[in-house]
Structure 1
């Protein structure tokens, strides 16, 4: 299902006509107020669509809100060395307004969700089926909003009552805490599970709306952010057991990164952001939520960010050499390259002759002599995911908000690998954990892992965190959230490992060659994103303009340069030491 934009604007206005004896009150349907709108299920359905609309805007998932997390991970780097540079270098300034765009979009979403919830009975047992589904969707979307706000801004204000927007005390609320926000996130997802149907319902529930399966998947994610592994494992096992709908791995990994009804909202997808397919879009690039164009493109700019400069892209983000070499280091049981490399990084490889669309870059056919770099000045390995680089749909990037590929925000493979991680945390390395990992590896035609090769939980964690997850989800949203929950910024050996992974060469030559952090001092072309990491900047700072406008709002660890390792250690959470997988 593609959600067409319905813009919900609540304006104060009331027209009256006066006669000699009577007054007739007329309501302008285009100028309704919170007193006249939202009293029927049909009204609230429009509000639900408005909430979905906000998650596909500039600061949520259409560009910046998605790409910032890709940047702060170790699988990608900022090849333009301009846009996204402070996010990649983890030293974002408090005066950079771009860092507030995600804040803006997610609070727009929260506002709409809170409005709908103010019209819903607090007693779920008294709700009609239609109202249960309405309430379940906005609870999911509010939980999603605060999950992102906490993951980016650490301690944002928690606003859950729509009436708070009518008072300065509510509108200019004070910060909550990381724990306080995630407590609400867990509560919202948990309640949404009980209200929403599964994808097996069919129709809209199999075609883009939030389901109980989506809520369960994100509930497990939220639990894992605070190391509640036992609780998360129980939820993930229920998803695997089909309690919340039927999910399975697609036979072809690439089906998760193509547009069109035969690929999108497929059996592997727990939740994805809906964008209009190329050719059916509007003409207006609608970058901010203040625009209300009826002709919005309703696409994303992810391809513009990832696309090579020589093919019309903005050339902002490249895959890390570490990720490329990780793929090259292990071949399938037939001696071929991991097919996930094809859909992740857009390089020429002899193995791709006759595979899928072949060695293609948009409509160009590549040869062994062709070297496609992301940025025309700084080089970089092009990211193929969520672009049409491989499919040849057009001959160059259509820049702006025209990428029609739905962003798969949670896939069943994530459920399996998270279940394996939780099992390892709770019970140590077990055959069950290995079996879940092997389901994902078997699709890629890789040899099964053996339990005997992983005698400790630390070693199996290393395999999951730095082999299985990067290969399956490389250059997708979520790696930054993983690094936060794993505490990699708070351990000397893990931070050094991030510096190694984040090393890249700023050159249009030798983009595919291995690089080493140890050579940075002697090679001026080398750089590591994590060398410029400023303490506390694993989160984004709260924008100074927001602090100026709200006297109750304080900065977070990125504003103050606070060391968050104290919080992590006081929780008693484990930071796994670096373990060599070659032993």
Structure 2
């Protein structure tokens, strides 16, 4: 039996708090996970869930985490969404104008959040090391390593390779305390292998069936396919996406208009999602609608309507065919309270674009309390995996009938016209279509920035919108300045020194 060292685990949790402070020595209160023998309290599912629940909680992207990660950092600098009004505007203008810098709290907040999750997850793994039952141990490892890979995946999306935090076997207390203060960034090669290894282990040991709010074989495969796609490992992306499809466990939800509503919850298109609820003081809620309702919108009294407005560009709206049901989830006009005058949001009377459409994709929860709506937040959907395989196949082979058929699965569900192989003479033409199709399918889901970067269009599209400050190095955000100041071995991303 492995020795259970509670002091070492306690110190490890304190290590995670290094990323939450501006000082290397000012520790917050240490978090002691348990003082019980793991072989006693991990013998049933309740004990395993108790151990893992904290890790799941730290990796959940809901509430203001969702707003910051999905919208501010991953849609506001793109051609889909902008923000006006409210106290938030001054904070996000640098994001929309490509004038951000390492001191911004949005970068610090995301970096801290994901490393806090990694510290919690590594602590779970340390506890599980002391479990004698290999089956129970592997189950814990598999879920924990999926969550760890998801955290590193998100960090890579924003910043590129970041430090990989591990506790060496037999490390002393002093050595443990230095980890995080002196760890350099991993190389791209090492980072890719680390994420891949975590997910391959999870795939081997997770079950196919299970709720989409917990790690399963399908969610680990899907995340790996996405990681391969975004790192342009086309062959691996195509193969792994097909493995997800071969599970025959997921289905496209028939009605896109209710996919993101409470009526669509529990659907089998969500491969991995974050559960949201209202009431009970839960922070796990969806607050996008509070930022999306236009001024004086005739909403029920139980809904909040913030001064900060998330608006959709008219040019993006124009990419939809008229019969495309995904188009119907935009508010295009409304009559304000105490008024009889209809306010247009698409174009003015002269036909000029207003860029004021509102995405009602997360159909408002009638029982919302203030800003908190109960709509679950998708992280990976089957539609994403279908288009992942279509894109990877096109990059490998150019336009093929299989890629066209995969794209048409998505378009048929949306009641859009189908496309034909003969419509695309080159790989480049189909690549451009897939990029636009992904925008139509995944708006308000925080995928546009990574898609544009992968296709090499992120900077050019910003320049085309008149964002003169956009530079090639902006494909990565800067590491938070306090991390650079506190870690002498941490190298800043190019362009931010």
TM category (shorter chain) comes to: 0.7 to 0.9
- Supply the distance in 1 between the matched residues of 2:290 and 2:382 (Cα, whole angstroms): 27
Provide the aligned length of Structure 1 versus Structure 2: 446
Give the superposition deviation at 1:36. Answer: 2.2
Give the superposition deviation at 1:411. Answer: 0.9
1:265·1:272 contact (CA, 8 Å) conserved in 2?
no
Q: Are positions 1:369 and 2:362 aligned together?
A: no
SS of residue paired to 1:270: strand
| Corresponding position of 1:18 | none
- Supply the distance in 1 between the matched residues of 2:310 and 2:30 (Cα, whole angstroms): 43
Higher relative contact order (CA 8 A, sep 6+): 2
1:255·1:263 contact (CA, 8 Å) conserved in 2?
yes
**Residue 136 and residue 308 in structure 1: after superposition, are their counterparts in 2 closer, same or farther (change >3 A)?**
farther
Structure 1: runs of 5 or more not aligned? 1-8, 13-29, 283-294, 332-336, 349-358, 490-494, 504-527, 561-583
Q: Are positions 1:307 and 2:287 aligned together?
A: no
| Corresponding position of 1:275 | 276
1:52-91 mapped onto 2 (5 Å cutoff): 52-56=56-60, 61-67=65-71, 68-80=73-85, 81-91=89-99
1:549-568 mapped onto 2 (5 Å cutoff): 549-560=486-497
- Supply the distance in 2 between the matched residues of 1:538 and 1:484 (Cα, whole angstroms): 6
Give the superposition deviation at 1:141. Answer: 0.7
**Length-normalised TM-score, structure 1:** 0.70
Give the superposition deviation at 1:269. Answer: 0.8
Q: Are positions 1:127 and 2:147 aligned together?
A: no
2:312·2:355 contact (CA, 8 Å) conserved in 1?
no
1:310-349 mapped onto 2 (5 Å cutoff): 310-311=296-297, 312-327=305-320, 330-331=321-322, 337-343=323-329, 345-348=330-333
Question: 1:379-422: per-residue Cα shift (whole Å, max 9, x none)?
Answer: 7221212251xx6x26xx8554x132111111111111111111
**Residue 536 and residue 207 in structure 1: after superposition, are their counterparts in 2 closer, same or farther (change >3 A)?**
closer
Give the superposition deviation at 1:427. Answer: 1.5
**Residue 536 and residue 269 in structure 1: after superposition, are their counterparts in 2 closer, same or farther (change >3 A)?**
same
**Residue 161 and residue 313 in structure 1: after superposition, are their counterparts in 2 closer, same or farther (change >3 A)?**
same
| Corresponding position of 1:455 | 425
SS of residue paired to 1:272: strand
The CA RMSD measured in Å over matched residues stands at 3.2
Name which of structure 1's ranges 265-274 and 180-189 shifts more when overlaid on structure 2.
180-189
Q: Are positions 1:470 and 2:439 aligned together?
A: yes
Match of 1:481 among 450, 461, 482: 450
Structure 2: runs of 5 or more not aligned? 1-8, 13-28, 298-304, 347-353
**Length-normalised TM-score, structure 2:** 0.81
2:11·2:177 contact (CA, 8 Å) conserved in 1?
no
- Supply the distance in 1 between the matched residues of 2:435 and 2:212 (Cα, whole angstroms): 31
| Corresponding position of 2:25 | none
1:33-182 mapped onto 2 (5 Å cutoff): 33=32, 36-37=35-36, 39=38, 40-41=41-42, 43-56=47-60, 61-67=65-71, 68-80=73-85, 81-121=89-129, 127-128=134-135, 130-161=136-167, 167-172=176-181, 173-182=183-192
Question: 1:85-132: per-residue Cα shift (whole Å, max 9, x none)?
Answer: 2222222112222321000110111011111222335999x622x433
**Residue 318 and residue 117 in structure 1: after superposition, are their counterparts in 2 closer, same or farther (change >3 A)?**
same
- Supply the distance in 1 between the matched residues of 2:272 and 2:119 (Cα, whole angstroms): 21
Give the superposition deviation at 1:543. Answer: 1.6
| Corresponding position of 1:419 | 389
- Supply the distance in 1 between the matched residues of 2:327 and 2:338 (Cα, whole angstroms): 18
Q: Are positions 1:189 and 2:199 aligned together?
A: yes
